[in-house]
Amino acid sequence: MLKFWIRSVVIGLASAAIIIAAVPSLREHFIPSASPSVANISSTELSFNPAVRRAAPAVVNIYSRQYDRSNRKKLSTQGLGSGVIVSKKGYIITNYHVIAKADQIIVALQDGRVAAAQLVGKDKRTDLAVLRIEGDHLPVIPLNPHYHPKVGDVVMAIGNPYNLGQTTTFGIISATGRSSISAGRRQAFIQTDAAINAGNSGGALVNSRGELVGINTASFQQATDIETYGISFAIPFSLANTIMQKIIADGRVIRGYIGVDGEDMNSLTGHIMNGQHVGGILVVGVDPNGPAQKAGLKKNDIITEIDGHKVTGRQEVMDTVTNLRPGTVVKVTLLRNGKEMTLSVTIAEDNYD
């Protein structure tokens, strides 16, 4: 009889185990749940700490020092900012305005090391500068050449605001392709609502994986003297990297120039011009001493191709031309009075400072 009961209990327990395994929803009736506080933490906690830990060590504090006018042997700290180590060779990208007046540049790493930095080169137009420091096992920020910033992407700004020490602020990408926030700077900026304050300049804008998205450069308030909140700008890393490579190769940025000012074509412009073409750019001005004028381009021409590549807008033309070496001859295809023609233009060097 006893054996019968034992066998029945064993069969019952085995059957219950099989049923519970087959129907997971029944487990909550047999397995004690965690306390509400623990359950809520495990299910709702969201942290970007792993991304910050990946990126933060490569974001450095930069101090620019100048000689005292009355005592050339005395150095005083005149400015501060941030920078990003982007190479094991010690290359650092920062803002031009951070080091513009520096006689000596000091870099402080987050691990406590301090080093005097060499200025490799600078570019006022994009507000970028490249420094280099010597050191072993330098932290390098994660880079992802396949990442393209998109509106709504989560980003964090890492820097040294007001010399408080390294600080991380949080936001999203509010817009891309912003331009002309200050005189002479026409590249496409990333707009973000992550706070960028004095001292953050030159620091890193990173995504949720800790990968470098851009170089923090200004808040709208700093650029316009209008008191605003939630409008800050960063230079896309793709542009910063291009500028850095040019500086490393030539010690400065050599840009191509053809001497035209253009506007993007759209349906309204095409209608006004009595044409159906809505691609390319409309030439609204030609430098009288520039390569385009010498090649025969005129106001109201519509540039549609450069060296066989279709033109989609003004920014693309600027990027294409500036990346060409002076002396290069390119074929420019255009529409004039409804007729297509191709002109040869010799790229000159853009000497704008």
Q: Is 137 a catalytic residue?
A: no
Which of 82, 123, 127, 350 is labelled catalytic? 127
Q: List, in sequence order, every residue forming a beta bridge with 212; answer none if it has no partner.
A: 206
Task: Convert 45-54 to b/e letters by CB count within 10 Å (16 or more is b).
Answer: eeebeebbeb
**Which ranges in the chain belong to alpha helices (H)?**
2-22, 36-44, 49-55, 96-99, 220-224, 237-250, 267-272, 291-295, 314-322
Comparing CA positions, the residue from 44, 69, 236, 272 lying closest to residue 150 is 236
For residue 308, give the DSSP letter: T
Q: Is 125 exposed, middle or buried (0-12, 13-18, 19+ CB in 10 A)?
A: middle
Q: Is 261 a catalytic residue?
A: no
Which of 64, 82, 97, 232 is labelled catalytic? 97
Distance set, CA 134 to CA 87, 114, 137, 140 (Å): 11, 10, 10, 13
> How far apart are the two ends of the chain, measured CA to CA in Å?
102
Q: Is 148 a catalytic residue?
A: no
Comparing CA positions, the residue from 164, 151, 178, 167 lying closest to residue 232 is 178
Q: Reduce the secondary structure of 251-287 to three states and give it as a string.
A: CCCCCEECCEEEEECCHHHHHHCCCCCCCCEEEEEEC
Which of 201, 219, 232, 301 is labelled catalytic? 201
| Alpha-carbon gap, residue 225 to 221, rounded angstroms | 5
Two tokens at 173?
């990408």
For residue 301, give the DSSP letter: -
* Sequential DSSP letters for 327-347: T-EEEEEEEETTEEEEEEEE-
**Measured on CA atoms in the order 181, 182, 186, 189, is the torsion positive or negative?**
negative
| Alpha-carbon gap, residue 339 to 346, rounded angstroms | 23
Distance set, CA 8 to CA 16, 17, 30, 113 (Å): 12, 14, 20, 72
Q: Which residues are catalytic?
A: 97, 127, 201
